[in-house]
Structure 1
Amino acid sequence: MRIFGLVLIALACLAPIVWFAPLAAARDPIALFSQYLGVAALIVMGINQFLATRAPGLETIFGPLDRIYVLHKWLGVIAMVCLGLHDIIDAEMNGLRGGALAGIAEDIGEVSLYGLLILVLASVITFIPYHLWKWSHRLIGIFFFMGAFHFFFIEKPFSNSDPLGLYVSAFCVLGIVSYLWMSLLRPMAPRGHGYTVDTVRHLGGLTEVVLKPKRRGLRHKPGQFAFLAVKGSGLSEEHPFSLSGAPREDRALRFSIKDLGDYTHRLRRELKEGMEATVSGPFGHFTMPSGRDPQVWIGAGVGITPFLAFAESLKTRETGPVKLYYCVRERDDIPYAVDLERIAEEVGDLELVIVNSNEGVRLTPERISEDLGGSVRDAHVFFCGPVAMRKALKTGLVLKGLRASRFHFEQFEMRTGIGLNALAAWLWDQGIYAIEKRRAAKTQPAE
């Protein structure tokens, strides 16, 4: 996530203070602060709707798309906090006269607040099924439009034609246009690159799909991902997957997709050769650096997919020594192990290490450091796998001298929570502990 983009968002939210400050001398400052919170929420939501469009240039300003998804989530949470405080803190001011729609705007604002609150909570409560969340998430734009209506017609100490009114209105229009584009116009507009499914293979729990372009096709770098949609059979909804093949001259693409949910299960069952597909992208900055510094690649389970593209690309580029740790649980189910061993034989700088947890073997920062001769400072580490494993390895390697900026990973999750599951688990544990403590106290003999 780029600091530049975060600064732009912060400045966009703070800019209205320039116009609100002079109003404080003649108006109730508490009510004025409440109105500022409402304005800030609209600005954040307008920006958030725009981020959802995946418009060209967003990655340049805000960072890779995986980080934009995380930013999108937290901006939604921040907007809800601002709206909640705006509702709690009385924003009414004496001496203001609203128009004919002021009363309706007040009621619509209440509906917008509670509708957005429910939908944002549905987004961060990750146990709600994906297809239900996806359907409900589309309604956010409708409640945002209602919030904009509330702003346009509610009683306030400035008019919509004032600089402050025009400023906030611009973000309202940005959000509404972005929503209309995503929900109505974009599905009808041609997008992405047309492909035909060339081959389909089932490798253990993975479905390997090779696509041939109908025309030019997209150009990608090893480690990037793209959105795949297949025409027909209930597979037309876009889903992001890592590109597991290195770039080819004919621009054919390869995806290696793990059966992890409803969509991927349906894709494994129904995808056939000859079907038409659309691929949008590529996205992501999970790409190899130039230079001869040592590299460590860590792929856990399906996290091996971007490193397949990395390994294949070594045939046509020079790099420093590379150590690839392939972390698995079942030695009999290791897709692409033979392919990676063959590439390692062809490319002298690549060493493949299978780490099988069922054999009691664990990948630790200590082992990585030892394999690099005791020094990790000059290495680049690339990781794709479970979050807990990533955090443990990064923390340990940084303590051993690795520069944090050289630990590369993608937060490749369409939905992430805000710690509600952990909070619920902690509250549950505390409740169980309290019950057991009371039971123990009752069973102890009196002295």
Structure 2
Amino acid sequence: MKSIRGIIFIILIMGTSSLLWFFAIPVEPLHSLDKLSHMIGGLAITGFFVVFLLSTRMKMLDRWFNGLENVYRYHKYMAIISLALVILHGQLQERVPEMDKGFETSLSEFSKELGELGQYGFIALILIALLAKFLKYEHWRVIHRFMLIPYTFGIYHAYFSSKYDLLQPTPLGIFTAITTTIGFMSALYMLTMYQDMFFKYTGKITGIQQMGKNAIELEITLDKKIPYRYGQFVFIKFFQDGLEKAPHPFSISGGDGEKIFVTIKVLGDFTHQVYHSIKINTAVALNGPYGQLNFEKDAQSQIWIAGGIGITPFLSYLQAQPINCPIQLFYTYQGEDNAIYKNFLQGYASTNPHFKVNFIDTTQTERLSFESYHVPANTKVYLCGPEKMVKHFTKQLKSHNNDITIDFEAFKFR
């Protein structure tokens, strides 16, 4: 999926920050290293504004970046870039000649100390966040909450250590005030308000169906209809004793909006808890829908590639209406117990001549490969599954089919 609008947004924000700092007039003459250090420090603050804004799960950002998986990818990149800018800012400040640093008040000395604390805080928290795969989801979320503290220190440092008067209504002062306010409010919103304000679809579990050894399908009846497009997903909170209260993303595998189905496969601690202990009538709250897969756009024929639980976005489309364009599905899984909905897919293929399905059990046959696969003209490719699988197949398909369009949902939210 392309993220052109999102990338342009980031470039415009960071470019504007660079220009404003470059042309701003300091309150006193500055050494060239000091000026460069201020500019880089300003870029770091702007970068963290982007980081916190991207964490809000705004649907506008979902559209701009063509999916939350892309939003989170750029969120991660911007965090790393901003941290590098913070470190570079500190290194340059140490190299500014003492005679060119000017007189420092007790307030500026204090803000400088806070800036250093903020730098160490960002380094520690971002390094820990990059080790997300070794952390439980709830622990990872707690670490992200603490990011507001070094960001606050950084804002204070920017305002009271700077040789530019950021409190004046200059272009730089206005830009800094807007971005730091939005950045701070975005972080505060995710910390205190997100789970109360944006889970407006409530309901309860009205059905539980076993889908093999490691998966269940939940029927959820909502108090009001949720408008969703086939292939989208929602964040769900389960209000049941013993289950983690944090929201988790699940693809919608069917339903009419008033009643929806989600399929949950055991992939970690939380899904293991849900699989073994979820009960009928458990209250739920939903936020969404999210996702930019669109099976009805600009294609005369389609190729679907699903890995494991990645079959669920395709099911919502198949179960809603009969397809009327050629679709070939490649469904790869590890063992028959993980081949959820196999009977449904076989039955659908037997009754609809437009639909063909290929089952690839990696315990019985070689892994699926598109190394030399030729995609027919006017064919769109849809991928859904683990991030590594999506990247691998995308690379293979692109290597022999330069002009094809590939849309995907990759299962990774850290």
Q: TM-score with structure 2 length normalisation?
A: 0.90
In the alignment, which residue of structure 1 is the partner of 2:336? 331
Alignment counterpart, residue 131 of structure 2, candidates 125, 128, 131:
125
The answer to whether 1:87 aligns with 2:86 is no
Q: CA deviation at 1:311?
A: 1.9
The answer on whether the counterparts of 1:301 and 1:328 sit within 8 Å (CA) in structure 2 is: yes
Q: Which amino acid aligns with 2:363?
A: N
SS in structure 1 of the partner of residue 63 of structure 2: helix
Q: Which amino acid aligns with 1:385?
A: G
Q: Which amino acid aligns with 1:412?
A: F
Q: Which amino acid aligns with 2:225?
A: G
Q: Distance in 1 between matches of 2:307 and 2:101?
A: 64
Q: How big is each residue's C-alpha offset from its partner over 1:15-46, in whole Å with a ceiling of 9 and x where there is no partner?
A: 24244336499421111111111111111111
Q: Is the alpha carbon distance of 1:295 and 1:155 closer, same or farther for their aligned partners in structure 2, counting shifts above 3 Å?
A: closer
SS in structure 2 of the partner of residue 243 of structure 1: strand
Greater mean alpha carbon deviation, residues 250-259 or residues 106-115: 250-259
In the alignment, which residue of structure 2 is the partner of 1:112? 118
Q: Is the alpha carbon distance of 1:22 and 1:363 closer, same or farther for their aligned partners in structure 2, counting shifts above 3 Å?
A: closer
In the alignment, which residue of structure 2 is the partner of 1:273? 280
Q: Is the alpha carbon distance of 1:305 and 1:95 closer, same or farther for their aligned partners in structure 2, counting shifts above 3 Å?
A: closer
Q: How big is each residue's C-alpha offset from its partner over 1:365-404, in whole Å with a ceiling of 9 and x where there is no partner?
A: 26854xxxxx523211111234444344333333333524
Q: Distance in 1 between matches of 2:187 and 2:399?
A: 45
In the alignment, which residue of structure 2 is the partner of 1:211? 220
SS in structure 2 of the partner of residue 385 of structure 1: strand
Q: Distance in 1 between matches of 2:220 and 2:275?
A: 15
The answer to whether 1:412 aligns with 2:411 is yes
- 1:242-261 equivalent positions in 2, closer than 5 A: 242-245=251-254, 247-248=255-256, 251-261=258-268
Q: Distance in 2 between matches of 1:177 and 1:366?
A: 47
Q: How big is each residue's C-alpha offset from its partner over 1:102-152, in whole Å with a ceiling of 9 and x where there is no partner?
A: 121111111111111111111112343133222111100121111111112
Q: Which amino acid aligns with 1:141?
A: L
In the alignment, which residue of structure 2 is the partner of 1:426? none
Q: CA deviation at 1:97?
A: 4.8
Q: Distance in 2 between matches of 1:63 and 1:125?
A: 26
Pick the structure with more strand per residue: 2
The answer on whether the counterparts of 1:290 and 1:319 sit within 8 Å (CA) in structure 2 is: no
Q: Distance in 1 between matches of 2:251 and 2:346?
A: 21
Q: Distance in 1 between matches of 2:197 and 2:37?
A: 41
SS in structure 1 of the partner of residue 199 of structure 2: coil
Q: CA deviation at 1:280?
A: 0.6
Q: Is the alpha carbon distance of 1:188 and 1:322 closer, same or farther for their aligned partners in structure 2, counting shifts above 3 Å?
A: closer
Q: Distance in 2 between matches of 1:395 and 1:127?
A: 23
Q: Distance in 2 between matches of 1:260 and 1:205?
A: 9
Q: Is the alpha carbon distance of 1:22 and 1:174 closer, same or farther for their aligned partners in structure 2, counting shifts above 3 Å?
A: closer
SS in structure 2 of the partner of residue 286 of structure 1: coil
In the alignment, which residue of structure 1 is the partner of 2:245? 236
In the alignment, which residue of structure 1 is the partner of 2:9? 8
The answer to whether 1:48 aligns with 2:55 is no
In the alignment, which residue of structure 2 is the partner of 1:419? none
Greater mean alpha carbon deviation, residues 182-191 or residues 292-301: 182-191
Q: How big is each residue's C-alpha offset from its partner over 1:325-345, in whole Å with a ceiling of 9 and x where there is no partner?
A: 121222354221111122223
Q: Which amino acid aligns with 1:310?
A: Y
In the alignment, which residue of structure 1 is the partner of 2:64? 61
- 1:133-144 equivalent positions in 2, closer than 5 A: 133-144=140-151
SS in structure 1 of the partner of residue 202 of structure 2: strand
Q: Is the alpha carbon distance of 1:116 and 1:352 closer, same or farther for their aligned partners in structure 2, counting shifts above 3 Å?
A: same
Q: Is the alpha carbon distance of 1:118 and 1:364 closer, same or farther for their aligned partners in structure 2, counting shifts above 3 Å?
A: same
Q: Which amino acid aligns with 2:380?
A: H
- 1:11-410 equivalent positions in 2, closer than 5 A: 11-16=12-17, 17-21=19-23, 23=25, 26-90=29-93, 94=100, 96-97=102-103, 100-130=106-136, 131-161=138-168, 162-189=170-197, 191-203=199-211, 204-214=213-223, 216-233=224-241, 234-245=243-254, 247-248=255-256, 251-290=258-297, 293-315=300-322, 318-365=323-370, 369=374, 375-401=375-401, 403-404=403-404, 406-410=405-409
Residue segments in structure 2 that go unaligned for 5+ positions in a row: none
Q: CA deviation at 1:178?
A: 1.2
SS in structure 2 of the partner of residue 244 of structure 1: strand
Q: Is the alpha carbon distance of 1:312 and 1:114 closer, same or farther for their aligned partners in structure 2, counting shifts above 3 Å?
A: same
Q: TM-score with structure 1 length normalisation?
A: 0.84
Q: Which amino acid aligns with 1:229?
A: K
SS in structure 2 of the partner of residue 101 of structure 1: helix
Q: Which amino acid aligns with 2:110?
A: I
Q: Distance in 2 between matches of 1:176 and 1:145?
A: 8
Q: CA deviation at 1:176?
A: 1.1
Q: Distance in 1 between matches of 2:155 and 2:189?
A: 17
SS in structure 1 of the partner of residue 74 of structure 2: helix
Q: Look at both structures and tell me which one has the larger radius of gyration over its CA atoms.
A: 1
Q: Percent identity?
A: 24
Q: Distance in 2 between matches of 1:268 and 1:152?
A: 51
The answer on whether the counterparts of 1:291 and 1:320 sit within 8 Å (CA) in structure 2 is: no
Q: Which amino acid aligns with 1:21?
A: F
The answer on whether the counterparts of 1:98 and 1:153 sit within 8 Å (CA) in structure 2 is: no
Q: Is the alpha carbon distance of 1:191 and 1:332 closer, same or farther for their aligned partners in structure 2, counting shifts above 3 Å?
A: closer
Q: Distance in 2 between matches of 1:275 and 1:324?
A: 35
Q: Distance in 2 between matches of 1:352 and 1:367?
A: 19
The answer on whether the counterparts of 1:230 and 1:275 sit within 8 Å (CA) in structure 2 is: yes
Q: Distance in 2 between matches of 1:210 and 1:329?
A: 25
Q: Distance in 1 between matches of 2:259 and 2:125?
A: 39
Q: CA deviation at 1:96?
A: 4.2
The answer on whether the counterparts of 2:5 and 2:64 sit within 8 Å (CA) in structure 1 is: yes
Residue segments in structure 1 that go unaligned for 5+ positions in a row: 370-374, 416-447
Q: Which amino acid aligns with 2:332?
A: C
Q: Is the alpha carbon distance of 1:289 and 1:99 closer, same or farther for their aligned partners in structure 2, counting shifts above 3 Å?
A: farther
* Number of equivalences: 404
Q: Distance in 1 between matches of 2:385 and 2:60?
A: 28
